[in-house]
Amino acid sequence: MHIAFLTTEYPHDKTGKYGGIGTSIKNAAEGLVAAGEKVSVFVISQQETGIFEENGIEIHLIAQRKYRFLSWLFYKKYVQRYIKSQIKKQNIDVLEAPDWSGISAFMNFDCPLAVRFHGTDAYFCELEVRKQKPKNFWLEKIALRGADHFISVSQFTAERTRNLFKLKKKIAIVPNSVDIDRFMARPEVEEEHRLLYFGTLIRKKGVLDLAGIFNRIVEKSPKTALFLAGSDVVDLQSGKSTWEIMQEILSPLAKESVHFLGKLSYDRIQDEIAKATVVMLPSHAEALPMTWLEAMAMEKALITSNIGWAKEVMVDGITGFTIDPKNHKLYAEKALQLLQDKNLRETMGKSARERVALHFSSKVVAQKNLNFYRNICGL
């Protein structure tokens, strides 16, 4: 088969910023190539146009264009024409697009279009209890109406999205994946008293709760340090940087032990995960987080949130702990327990990797994706 992806983000030096969606697409694409399939990726809204190949994947950069009026619509039509020409030229069997921001709205193609639910803006607005811009909901609704098939990274996200947009079609469930041959345990570099959060510094990821939780941890364990790796963003509620708000929450003692590393390369992130004693990811809003899978693959005991999707990834008390991020007292107690009990950390870490290998490895998920694509193409 020839499978193609339409996206605004993809992890590469030539493509600019990317997040979890970009990482998940790359992992899926590489898994499909490893399974012997042909894969193309169309990355839109880029600085320049170009085509190159990496790891057996043909990547098309489609430069942003401006028009005198309705620029957003005319650019979509330009992208549509380009991709349709490639579908014909390269015999592409199926095209996949994410649901975020209605990227495929007002587009139609000469092959089946599958929209994968990574979480629409409407989905995250509901989880965060904040108002969505009407235009964003409209575009996402039109994109979903125009899709031939639906696929979701979690059952929780599938059901929430179905209810939000009153969807009738069947939604297949295929989770995100991680390359377990790349994300491996490195116990020899683990350090003591070292907590790690990695991901964007943003309210929905629970980092403001993390500041309050760390205040409690450092009171009982002054040697403990918290490392934060990821981009800082402006908080929508206050207009301040999220890192600035965190500093306002942190106690004087905690401030001395928090280290903000900023955005790191993929390899540097792996180094930080390896060095961490415990990984803390108290997110309030996710679909199926790549950060959780990456830390689990590296045999790290995690403390995550217990919301919705969490049960589809974590097993509380086995792969780590799942706790309400607003329960700062219990969250801190579990962190201290893991910091003090190496045997428990190791046991949970091994269970975490075993679960990832069984359900979320690139090889396992690639076969699930292939089954989905073959079914919708009648192969």
Residue 164's pLDDT is what? 97
Percent of the chain with pLDDT over 70: 100
Judge whether residue 379 has pLDDT over 90.
no
Mean pLDDT along residues 350-379: 95
Q: What is the CATH number of domain 187-359?
A: 3.40.50.2000
Residue 328's pLDDT is what? 98
DSSP labels, 330-379: HHHHHHHHHHH-HHHHHHHHHHHHHHHHHHTBHHHHHHHHHHHHHHHHT-
Is the fold of 2-177+361-377 the same as that of 187-359? yes
Residue 142's pLDDT is what? 98
DSSP H stretches of helix in 44-172: 71-90, 121-128, 134-145, 155-165
Average pLDDT value for the chain: 96
Mean pLDDT along residues 358-364: 97
pTM: 0.93
Residue 204's pLDDT is what? 95
Q: How far apart are CA 296 and CA 252, in angstroms?
A: 32
Mean pLDDT along residues 358-379: 94
- Give, in words, the CATH class of 2-177+361-377: alpha beta
Q: How far apart are CA 183 and CA 190, in angstroms?
A: 15
Counting other chains too, the contacts that 230-236 makes at CB distance below 8 Å and 24 or more residues apart are 230/197, 230/198, 230/199, 230/200, 230/201, 230/262, 230/263, 230/264, 231/17, 231/200, 231/201, 231/262, 231/263, 232/201, 232/260, 232/262, 233/200, 233/201, 233/202, 235/202, 235/203, 236/130, 236/203
**Nearest in space to 6 (alpha carbons), one of 91, 133, 125, 100:** 100
Q: How far apart are CA 107 and CA 113, in angstroms?
A: 10
Three-state DSSP at 223 gives: coil
Q: Out of 41-50, 262-271, 318-327, 366-375, which region has the weakest mean confidence (pLDDT)?
A: 262-271
Judge whether residue 290 has pLDDT over 90.
yes
**What residue ranges do the domains of the chain occupy?**
2-177+361-377, 187-359
Mean pLDDT along residues 140-148: 97
Residue 16's pLDDT is what? 79
Strand partners, 95: 4, 113
Mean pLDDT along residues 288-298: 97
Judge whether residue 236 has pLDDT over 90.
no
